[in-house]
Amino acid sequence: MEVEKDGELIIAEVPSDTIKLVGTFEIVDDFKTFISLDFEVDKSLVDRQRQGFLFKPVIKLAVGDPGEIGAATVELTDKPEKAKPTPRPVPTKVTPPKQPTAVPVTATPTSTPEPTATPTATPDAVGAFFLDIIEPEDGIGVVSVDSFKVIGRTSVDAHVSVGDTFVDVAIDGTFTSTVTLLEGTNEVEVVASTASGDESSIVLVIFFEPAA
């Protein structure tokens, strides 16, 4: 596929011959099921700057209910309804009771509880879009062998590529990919994107120093 950038035609690499559809649909006997495939070209191109373009087909799947008539599309995920404001109660005039005679009380000092550490929440794979790298830690690694297993986590409906390779995302949002290294410094870009247009990328730096 050719892409024009700054007046120059650039060949966009297609790293895979498969297409992933985000969403599911059900076929019911004796009923027609309406399915709409929305191909979004602008979200299918990933500009990797110096490494050129990747063409990753992003297809939005809209499915009607079994037996539905018409061409109305159905959203992939349910959007929460806006909460209706709770009516404010009308204040009523209340006659305050007579106050009892105050009795002085000697204050007893209480110990101040020690603060407890709050654990960091792990992002939900089916919630808001995110991309985290587990290995290498902090995005930097030093190894003495010519391969490295990249481990990360993202939204369960995301498309993920590690370098020039597309990888599968597990049901809990984790993914792994083993990359081959050259001696010295290796830069590996991890890109995650969804059909709704969310996208994030992280560049990993891995140093390969062969053992003496």
The predicted model gives 152-176 an average pLDDT of 94
Global confidence as pTM: 0.44
SS3 string, 51-72, reads HCEEECCCEEEEECCCCCCCCC
pLDDT exceeds cutoff 90 at 80: no
**Does residue 111 register a pLDDT over 60?**
yes
* Cβ pair 149, 176 in contact under 8 A: yes
Torsion sign across C-alpha atoms 121, 123, 126, 127: positive
Instruction: Point out the least confidently predicted range of 58-67, 124-133, 139-148, 150-159.
Output: 58-67
Enumerate domains of the chain plus CATH numbers.
Answer: 2-73+123-208 (2.60.40.10)
Who wins on pLDDT, 196 or 10? Answer: 196
Residue pLDDT, tens place only, 117-141: 665 556 766 678 999 999 999 999 9
pLDDT confidence of 41, banded at 50, 70, 90?
low
